Structure 1
Amino acid sequence: MSRSKYRISRRTVLRSAGVSLALPWMEMMLPTPARAGVRTGAGGAPQRAVFIYTPNGVNQKHWHPEKSGHDYELPSTLEPLKALREDLLLFSGLDRTMRGGTGVHAQAGCCWLTSSPPSEALDNGFPTNVSLDQLIARQVGRDSLFPSIELSCNDRKDIRETRYFESISWIGPGYAANVEKDPRQVFERLFGNPAGDPSHKSILDVVSQDARRLRTKLGRADRFKLDEYLDSVRSIENRIQAAEKFKERDLEIPIERPKSAPERRGEYIRLMGDMIVLAFQLDLTRVATLVIDPERWDTPRMYHGVFDKPQNHHVLTHTKGDEAKEKLAKIDRFHVEQYAYIVERMKQIPEGDGTLLDNSAVVMGSGMGDGRVHSYRDLPVVVAGKLGGHLKTGFHHQFKGYEPIANLWLSLLQASGVEAPRFADSTGVVKEIMA
């Protein structure tokens, strides 16, 4: 059936037995006029933004490229991004001013995306306010089921830190957005709980008949997209079930076993990333945050495939000597590998005239530059994606002197269609990256 003879609504879902499963964005979906002030990406697809936070800063020596512009060489930590360099924006020299009177680690995390300048303390001494992700969600997420989702890969139960160490998304001063840490709960929130039995029922099994019926009405490209999407949902279901079976095994391990997340650290982060990608693909949400770990977290982590025993990331940042520095660089690279996986997944998904990545901005960074000296200078930050054609990519931009990271946040805000003259202590947009 030709596209002109059959169209489906962008809100079409697969249904059966009280379960519904949203569909990815397809060519056959009925085009709707853009709402006033809402920008779209390639082929009318929506814009998306995701912010991925890593704590305690980085080993600066192995993070920042030496050359600026397009002709730069990726340092060892960023090498996993080699195949994506034309989709990247790298920055050196972005800074933030710390407000005295609050914890240096706490403020690094909770104020990474907040819209208050350091001079404005609206939250018990902290300059928290509506965060960048929430401001973008108010603009681009009006029509999605969830204006934003907030996830964390800290599944540990021995919580000793306050919300200021782990919350990067804020609805307002003192009001942190609720964070989901359990992959099963995230999956059921996004896709539902089939027949009330999460252990044995698959959502795809429940809606399979409706899916087969819809498939006969789609064109070749949309059939391929539907099959690829359903395979992705099945894969996530299988990975969650495998993790839950693994946790039931009576094994001796040197650290506390996660209760509802994959045992291997990289698999946990990638699983949460996959659910963000699927939520974007289905237009369930257009804005997400993912916290890899809280600031100043002192419980050792096992970085599988990198070390043979758990490492205390925070303590390593304060340990002198080359061995500690090399371990930090390895952890930084491990985090970049997980980021590269998420970005590559988005690049593989066709959408409109481009890809899901083309219509998105995928940001990874930290609110601290050098954790050893608690520096807020030269903050690590990487952006992937063109945000629907409103960002230029493929180069390393090196700032001279003091440059507030708020200038980058203001640029992303305006590229998302928000008419904002300033953000926090911004002094202007980064003109070089604006398309």
Structure 2
Amino acid sequence: MELRRLNILHRLIFLCLLVFPLHGSKAWAKDFVVVIDAGHGGHDPGAVGRISKEKNINLKVALRLGNLIKQSSDDVKVIYTRSKDVFIPLDRRAEIANEANADLFISIHTNALAKNKTATGASTWTLGLAKSDANLEVAKRENSVILYESDYKTRYAGFNPNSAESYIIFEFMQDKYMEQSVHLASLVQKQFRHSCKRVDRGVHQAGFLVLKASAMPSILVELGFISTPEEERYLNTEEGTNNLARGIHRAFLTYKREHEIRLTGASRTIIPADNEDSLQPKQETTQVAVYEEVEKNDSSTGISQLTAEVSRPIVVESATNDNIITFKIQILTSSSPLSKNDKRLKGLKDVEYYKEGGIFKYTYGASPDYNKVLRTRRNIAAQFKDAFIIAFQNGEKMNIHTAINEFKKKKN
């Protein structure tokens, strides 16, 4: 009898140890690790402006961001790829994040245009195929860092940062962290737009080597244009450094809070109360280009930035619960629902959406005839430069190349 009581007591203790930590502080014992990468450094200055060098702007914002995270989140471990003016090889930066089993990788950079061209605004990038020449040029400039490494041809398997052919490797790359990366990027742009009051140049994708090798959600932030005198002056002020770092910090806190709620149903992450309205705007206004497998000659380019108006909601994707393969054009995505007269739809009617990974993905021109959908995509390419074709069968999205092959078989 006594032995039976002991067995029952042991079982109760074991159950308590399993259950109660979920409601106490030990549920948060594991540090959330974020690696902050200040681009360039040492003998690599990055882009050079009239009064400053990119490497120094990047480092100031990176250190400021790290300090803000440390102050606000005692459960976060911050790791810098560099905390001073030293040169770190591109692949080593990703290795640092991988070795730390990081939860996030944030690479800080400053943009530039050649031939005295001017532009303003901040953009955030994720790994993918560059869908325009302008996007490719950004990737080329950032990847050219490897030319400072004597053994770059061996280390990067013959990759030539200045050759467009080298970027073919990014065309069919499957990044399992893409959804999280794009979401974090959209949060950063939301902050740049609302709380930082900067020109929003959108979320883009391109073939960045530093993101390719990182095994976690990763983004690359372009703070502004050092080649534009007015913007360069702003980037070199304390106000500019603090403002941009705060914007990224708020986006990080939002991402971390959502991550914790998704995992445990609760979060202890607190987002600062000041400028609180900018954290949760009523309408999402950033269009996010999400890379999917598409035909090789996709000429998609940039990302538009227009505001939404309140109207009737767009209907959910029409049912395709049969064996007929239906092709559709994905024109844009958003982290919140759009209305029928949202300006980003540019007057298109009969737009539908499907939801994937918590993101609303809007489509147009559904048809079982691939050639018809392809012609439609070409017709709207000027208005929707990031549009691409997807396919559904039995109500589920399928591999586009498989769908095209099936269509060709039936045509023959």
TM-score (normalizing by structure 1): 0.26
Question: Higher relative CO (CA 8 A, sep ≥ 6), structure 1 or 2?
Answer: 1
TM-score (normalizing by structure 2): 0.27
Structure number with the higher helix fraction is 2
